[in-house]
């Protein structure tokens, strides 16, 4: 039998069901569910496109309990309401002739509190997962264990009702089921823990209930599979003989297949690294006759027929295919046709390949996209030992570079046996190698460590490319040459760089801080735009004219009308500009000063800044745009009446010149330069700022030296709701979601949805100079940011308003009366006291009740350099300074006397992309 015949021949499972071939699509998280875990139509189409020739599709894991989701965008099977959506997936798969199996799981201690509304995750024992920042879970009571088993049972029932051909119990990837079996995470002393026998009880009970549900609601054709991770690194931890013990027990109860969860199908032991035998071979040698009756499935690295065949040769019965099925929806047909495939995707093909946008952003998938566009040879190959510092330790990394890629990164000195450290290092290492760039998102919970690794790689790259230039006889000190230099890597800078690159310009981004993102990364509310596609989808009637009028009113009529008009006109296109680059702002809320929902944000309601920067960065990396971090622009070079380039100062205090035809200044505002703030506004002496350290206004002085004029320098916005101990901004979206402000006496004192300047002034006028932002569970549930505030410890919560008032040292009679009166206003949609007209969303009456103490902080500098509507910098005679462009907060005039929440993000994308266009145009002249 040839390999193709073997893998394509039908296969019969122990329950008698025939799979039309031995190939399955592996369960892969797509992160494409709605915020509540329901199925999106994109997801249905993704699975539909991949069905047909492949025998079986195992649909990504579904959480069985709404406190059990382990990653954002997960889909759930935790309630009957979810059945309808899941049924669409099952139908789409089966319609095309494949079998549909659904994977079910609970994340246990791998769940992050911020994904479950700030709740503490649950697990067999109160032991945090060995990774930085992992929350310590609450140990489940015996009753909760029983209850959890019932939940798995309910999930099986729902999968049956949704029309799936089977379920796969997810006993792997360190999720709850594995946590019960692991001596590392399960240190209970009741019947569910202790001995190996006891630790096996939970997985077995889940299998039992799955059988029970199948018997009750399905017929014998219902498939039950089990996925397991064969070993753990931790000490104590699961070893291979423990796994064999468990699998024998599972097999004795009856199963239709077992699924090895390993990265590579022929992987050997991670515990005994001296033994190169693939685990599957060990498994085949050790298994009993009963276990040998259960088909076993392999996964990991299967791209071509030969890979699948090799798996079968080593003892697997079935082969699951992951990334190849993403890259080739018709993978099995291609294999059947004898094609040989390579794992990559054309970056323009997302829609054609039916890949949901969140999945496209996944690092594994992205690595496939990158493979297409690997830059030209740049490095002198070699291993570079780089010493860097994280928060607490000195670390040495060996960075191996090939001529055109980052080949490897190893930790040479540092906490080599710290499991937490090494596991997050592994993650950032593979992100960097996959992207072939150090400019990737940091690992959450391990930011300082990630930045250190990124830095080591950047340093090695600089050294190695210098070495290469020298080797080729080049002059290292000769000025580099670019069409466009962008100063600053906030939203405006990144948007400008991407646009200029896309119009054919060679681009360099220079950033003085060690990380990318500027102050933009802190933006919370969203991006304002009127008459957008996403507003239309939601039935929101809006007009550019109204957006213009409200921004003008909010800015005290001081806004530059020409800039404002350009801004309002281009905002919907800027939303599309982002969408075309995979950055979807399709959820909509409102901010103070706007009468209509026009603040666009990510669909899960999360803060816009991190999402935006991560998306823009992905685009920068994909395009191989050069970025220099820790490097500041000291001077914009100007000669013979035009801009000629920039003079840089690197971290090593080296001065470099770069020639450029256009320079875009996107250096942000000056809120973090208190001397400059106080120079223009003595009344703001002593105020905290919400801004990052780099917001020093240096771009303004750089341009002033070329004769640029400034405008509105005294217009400095203070944000009304800043947590004072950390200077952390409490997003306007909380008030926009329905929160109120009360003073220490428990009374409302102002229209919370008024503009930032007015609300701030009202807080400062209170005798205590602070206030509380108060909201209920209803507001929290709809606002991801609230969960973050809870996780950061800013929030005082209580089960009743009275308890909350007590905790805040507030007169509860007054507080209760305030809530009652406000709730009455919500009911009649009229605020008799302070004239609030927007975000009177729902009565504040659903416990728990929450409060955050806040006061104003310096937030945005509306003033800055003057530009025309083509982002060209103007001098005091309103004449263009040739070759100088500016965008973002460094520019003055657009916002007038007060910036409306959501308008800064719109500003940076509208004018950032425009500056990129104009700068590229000039460079091409």
Does 633 contact ligand ADP by CB under 6 A? yes
Site string for ligand ADP, 361-400 (x = CB under 6 A): ----------------------------------------
CA terminus-to-terminus distance, the chain:
64
Distance CA 245, CA 224 (A): 19
C-alpha distances (whole Å) from 360 to each of 364, 369, 434, 883 are 9, 9, 14, 37
Distance CA 534, CA 578 (A): 13
SS (H, E, C) 633-684: EEEEEEECCEEEEEEEECCCCCEEEEEEEEEEECCCCCCCCHHHHHHHCHHH
Does 493 contact ligand ADP by CB under 6 A? yes
Q: Residue 76 or residue 901: which is nearer to ligand ADP going by CB? A: 901
Q: Residue 429 or residue 692: which is nearer to ligand ADP going by CB? A: 692
Which residues, at least 6 apart from 644, have a Cβ–Cβ distance to it below 8 Å? 637, 638, 659, 660, 883
Residues 515-554 that bind ligand ADP (CB under 6 A): 518-520
Does 458 contact ligand ADP by CB under 6 A? no
Does 492 contact ligand ADP by CB under 6 A? yes
Distance CA 829, CA 735 (A): 16
Piece of the chain touching ligand ADP by CB under 6 A; list 133-141, 304-312, 490-498, 772-780: 490-498
Shortest distance, CB of residue 38 to ligand ADP, whole angstroms? 34
Does 487 contact ligand ADP by CB under 6 A? yes
Residues 640-669 that bind ligand ADP (CB under 6 A): 666-668
Shortest distance, CB of residue 699 to ligand ADP, whole angstroms? 5
Contact between 108 and 137 under an 8 Å Cβ cutoff? The reply is yes
Distance CA 95, CA 48 (A): 8
Does 491 contact ligand ADP by CB under 6 A? yes
Among 126, 284, 462, 513, binds ligand ADP (CB under 6 A): 513
Among 551, 621, 698, 717, binds ligand ADP (CB under 6 A): 698
Shortest distance, CB of residue 634 to ligand ADP, whole angstroms? 7
Distance CA 491, CA 181 (A): 46
Q: Which one from 603, 735, 756, 836 is the annotated catalytic residue?
A: 756
DSSP class per residue in 711-757: E-TT-EEEEEEEETTTTEE--HHHHHTT-EEE-TTS-B-S-TTS-HH
Contact between 262 and 230 under an 8 Å Cβ cutoff? The reply is yes
Longest dimension (CA), the chain: 90
Sign of CA dihedral 497, 500, 503, 505: negative
Which residues, at least 6 apart from 289, have a Cβ–Cβ distance to it below 8 Å? none
Does 673 contact ligand ADP by CB under 6 A? no
Shortest distance, CB of residue 276 to ligand ADP, whole angstroms? 48
Among 489, 751, 853, 913, binds ligand ADP (CB under 6 A): 489
**How many whole angstroms from its chain centre is CA 189?**
38
Distance CA 190, CA 314 (A): 40
Does 306 contact ligand ADP by CB under 6 A? no
Q: Residue 434 or residue 889: which is nearer to ligand ADP going by CB? A: 889
Shortest distance, CB of residue 83 to ligand ADP, whole angstroms? 44
**How many whole angstroms from its chain centre is CA 408?**
25
Piece of the chain touching ligand ADP by CB under 6 A; list 105-113, 380-388, 511-519, 893-901: 511-519
Distance CA 205, CA 220 (A): 20
Does 73 contact ligand ADP by CB under 6 A? no
Among 107, 225, 490, 736, binds ligand ADP (CB under 6 A): 490
The radius of gyration of the chain from alpha carbons, rounded to an integer in Å, stands at 29
Piece of the chain touching ligand ADP by CB under 6 A; list 125-133, 414-422, 508-516, 764-772: 508-516
Q: Residue 29 or residue 671: which is nearer to ligand ADP going by CB? A: 671
Q: In 176-231, which ranges are E strands?
A: 223-228
Shortest distance, CB of residue 496 to ligand ADP, whole angstroms? 9
Shortest distance, CB of residue 624 to ligand ADP, whole angstroms? 20
DSSP class per residue in 256-305: SEEEE--SSTT-B-SS-TT--SBHHHHHHHH--HHHHTS-EEEESS--SH
| 227: annotated active-site residue | no
Q: Residue 132 or residue 451: which is nearer to ligand ADP going by CB? A: 451
Shortest distance, CB of residue 616 to ligand ADP, whole angstroms? 10
Contact between 22 and 66 under an 8 Å Cβ cutoff? The reply is no
Does 689 contact ligand ADP by CB under 6 A? no
The β-bridge relationship of strands 880-886 and 655-665 is parallel
The β-bridge relationship of strands 527-528 and 599-601 is antiparallel
Q: Residue 486 or residue 530: which is nearer to ligand ADP going by CB? A: 486
Q: Residue 279 or residue 887: which is nearer to ligand ADP going by CB? A: 887
In 3D, which of 432, 488, 479 has the Cα closest to residue 460? 432
DSSP secondary structure letter of residue 689: B
The site for ligand ADP, by CB under 6 A, has a size of 27
Q: Residue 243 or residue 520: which is nearer to ligand ADP going by CB? A: 520
- Backbone torsions φ then ψ of 663, nearest 5 degrees: -125, 130
- Backbone torsions φ then ψ of 711, nearest 5 degrees: -145, 150
Among 699, 863, 897, 902, binds ligand ADP (CB under 6 A): 699
Does 694 contact ligand ADP by CB under 6 A? yes
Residues 874-893 that bind ligand ADP (CB under 6 A): 888-890
Does 512 contact ligand ADP by CB under 6 A? yes
Shortest distance, CB of residue 865 to ligand ADP, whole angstroms? 12
Among 424, 449, 590, 632, binds ligand ADP (CB under 6 A): 632
Q: Whose structure tokens read 């992207």?
A: 435
Q: Residue 279 or residue 700: which is nearer to ligand ADP going by CB? A: 700
Residues 894-923 that bind ligand ADP (CB under 6 A): 908
Does 132 contact ligand ADP by CB under 6 A? no
Q: In 488-595, which ranges are E strands?
A: 507-510, 527-528, 587-589
In 3D, which of 458, 850, 801 has the Cα closest to residue 628? 458
Q: Residue 555 or residue 888: which is nearer to ligand ADP going by CB? A: 888
Q: How many Cβ atoms from other residues are within 10 Å of residue 263's Cβ?
A: 10
Among 24, 87, 302, 510, binds ligand ADP (CB under 6 A): 510
Q: What angle do CA 624, 626, 629 make, to 5 degrees?
A: 130
Piece of the chain touching ligand ADP by CB under 6 A; list 440-448, 489-497, 500-508, 895-903: 489-497
Piece of the chain touching ligand ADP by CB under 6 A; list 127-135, 154-162, 372-380, 507-515: 507-515
Shortest distance, CB of residue 554 to ligand ADP, whole angstroms? 19
Q: Residue 99 or residue 692: which is nearer to ligand ADP going by CB? A: 692
Q: Residue 632 or residue 751: which is nearer to ligand ADP going by CB? A: 632
Shortest distance, CB of residue 398 to ligand ADP, whole angstroms? 30
Piece of the chain touching ligand ADP by CB under 6 A; list 497-505, 509-517, 736-744, 768-776: 509-517
- Backbone torsions φ then ψ of 441, nearest 5 degrees: -65, 145
Shortest distance, CB of residue 528 to ligand ADP, whole angstroms? 14
Shortest distance, CB of residue 718 to ligand ADP, whole angstroms? 17
Residues 773-812 that bind ligand ADP (CB under 6 A): none
Distance CA 755, CA 292 (A): 70
Q: Residue 757 or residue 889: which is nearer to ligand ADP going by CB? A: 889
| Interface contacts to ligand ADP, rule CB under 6 A | 487-493, 510-513, 518-520, 632-633, 666-668, 694-695, 698-699, 888-890, 908
Active site residues: 756
């Amino acid at each position: 039998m040839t390999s193709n015949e073997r893998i394509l021949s039908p296969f019969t499972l122990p329950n008698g069901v025939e799979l039309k071939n031995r190939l399955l699509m592996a369960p892969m998280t797509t992160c494409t569910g709605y915020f509540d875990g329901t199925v999106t139509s994109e997801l249905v189409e993704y699975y539909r496109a991949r069905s047909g020739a492949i025998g079986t599709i195992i649909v990504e894991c579904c959480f069985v309990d709404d406190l059990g989701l382990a990653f954002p965008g997960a889909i759930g099977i935790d309630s009957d309401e979810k059945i309808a959506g899941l049924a669409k997936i099952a139908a789409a798969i089966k319609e095309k002739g494949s079998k549909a199996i659904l994977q079910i799981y609970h994340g246990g201690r791998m769940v992050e509190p911020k994904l479950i509304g700030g709740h503490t995750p649950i697990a067999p024992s109160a032991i945090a997962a060995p990774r930085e920042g992992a929350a310590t879970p609450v140990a489940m009571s015996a009753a909760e264990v029983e209850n959890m088993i019932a939940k798995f049972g309910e999930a099986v029932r729902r999968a049956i009702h949704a029309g799936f051909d089977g379920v796969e119990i997810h006993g792997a990837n360190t999720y709850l089921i594995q946590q019960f079996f692991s001596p590392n995470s399960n240190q209970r002393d009741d019947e569910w823990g202790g001995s190996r026998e006891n630790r096996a009880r939970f997985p077995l009970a889940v299998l039992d209930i799955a059988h029970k549900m199948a018997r009750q609601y399905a017929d014998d054709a219902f498939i039950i599979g089990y996925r397991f991770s064969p070993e753990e690194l931790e000490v104590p931890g699961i070893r291979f003989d423990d796994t064999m013990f468990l699998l024998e027990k599972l097999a004795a109860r009856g199963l239709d297949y077992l699924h090895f969860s390993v990265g590579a199908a022929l992987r050997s032991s991670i515990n005994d690294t001296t033994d190169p035998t693939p685990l599957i071979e060990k498994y085949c040698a050790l298994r009993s006759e009963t276990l040998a009756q259960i088909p076993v499935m392999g996964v990991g690295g299967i791209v071509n027929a030969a890979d699948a065949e090799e798996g079968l040769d080593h003892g697997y019965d079935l082969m699951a295919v992951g990334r190849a099925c993403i890259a080739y929806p018709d993978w099995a047909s291609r294999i059947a046709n004898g094609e040989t495939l390579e794992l990559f995707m054309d970056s323009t093909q997302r829609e054609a390949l039916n890949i949901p946008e969140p999945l496209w952003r996944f690092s594994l998938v992205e690595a496939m996209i990158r493979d297409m566009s690997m830059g030209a040879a740049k490095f002198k190959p070699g291993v570079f030992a780089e010493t860097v510092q994280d928060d607490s330790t000195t670390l040495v990394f060996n960075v191996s570079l090939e001529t055109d890629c980052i080949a490897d990164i190893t930790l040479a000195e540092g906490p080599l046996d710290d499991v937490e450290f090494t596991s997050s290092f592994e993650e950032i290492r593979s992100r960097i190698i996959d992207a072939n760039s150090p400019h990737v998102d940091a690992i959450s919970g391990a930011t300082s460590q990630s930045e250190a690794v990124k830095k080591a790689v950047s340093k090695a790259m600089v050294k190695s490319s210098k070495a290469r230039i020298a080797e080729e006889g080049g002059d290292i000190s000769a000025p580099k040459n670019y069409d466009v230099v962008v100063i600053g890597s906030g939203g405006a800078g990144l948007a400008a760089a991407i646009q200029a690159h896309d119009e054919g310009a060679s681009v360099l981004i220079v950033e003085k801080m060690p990380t990318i993102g500027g102050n933009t990364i802190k933006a919370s509310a969203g991006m304002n735009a009127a008459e957008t596609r996403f507003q239309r989808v939601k039935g929101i009637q809006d007009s550019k004219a109204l957006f213009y009028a409200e921004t003008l009113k909010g800015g005290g009529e001081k806004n530059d009308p020409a800039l404002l008009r350009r801004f309002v006109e281009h905002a919907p296109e800027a939303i599309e500009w982002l969408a075309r680059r995979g950055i979807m702002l399709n959820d909509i809320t409102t901010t103070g000063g706007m009468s209509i929902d026009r603040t666009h944000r990510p669909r899960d309601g999360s803060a816009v800044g991190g999402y935006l920067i991560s998306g823009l960065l992905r685009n920068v990396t994909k395009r191989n745009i050069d970025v220099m971090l820790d490097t500041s622009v000291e001077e914009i070079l100007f000669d013979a009446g035009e801009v000629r380039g920039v003079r840089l100062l690197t971290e090593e205090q080296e001065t470099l010149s770069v020639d450029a035809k256009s320079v875009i200044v996107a250096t942000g505002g000056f809120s973090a330069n208190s001397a400059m703030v106080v120079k223009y506004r003595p009344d703001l002496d002593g105020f905290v700022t919400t801004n990052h350290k780099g917001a020093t206004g240096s771009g303004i002085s750089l341009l002033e030296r070329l004769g640029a004029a400034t405008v509105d320098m005294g217009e400095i916005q203070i944000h009304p709701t800043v947590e004072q101990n950390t200077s952390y901004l409490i997003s306007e979206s909380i008030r926009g979601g329905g929160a109120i402000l009360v003073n220490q006496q428990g009374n409302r004192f102002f229209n919370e949805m008024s503009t930032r300047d007015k609300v701030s002034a009202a807080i400062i006028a209170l005798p205590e100079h602070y206030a509380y932002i108060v909201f209920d569970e209803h507001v929290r549930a709809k606002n991801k940011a609230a969960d973050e505030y809870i996780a950061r410890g800013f929030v005082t919560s209580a089960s009743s308003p009275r308890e909350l008032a007590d905790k805040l040292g507030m007169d509860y009679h007054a507080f209760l009366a305030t809530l009652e009166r406000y709730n009455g206003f919500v009911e009649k949609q009229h605020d008799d006291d302070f004239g609030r007209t927007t975000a009177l969303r729902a009565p504040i009456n659903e416990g728990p009740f929450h409060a955050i103490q806040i006061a104003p902080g310096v937030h945005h500098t509306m003033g800055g350099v003057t530009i025309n509507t083509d982002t060209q910098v103007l001098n005091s005679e309103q004449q263009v300074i040739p070759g100088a462009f500016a965008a973002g907060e460094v520019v003055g005039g657009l916002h007038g006397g007060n910036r409306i929440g959501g308008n800064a993000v719109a500003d940076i994308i509208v004018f950032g992309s425009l500056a990129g266009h104009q700068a590229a145009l000039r460079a091409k002249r």
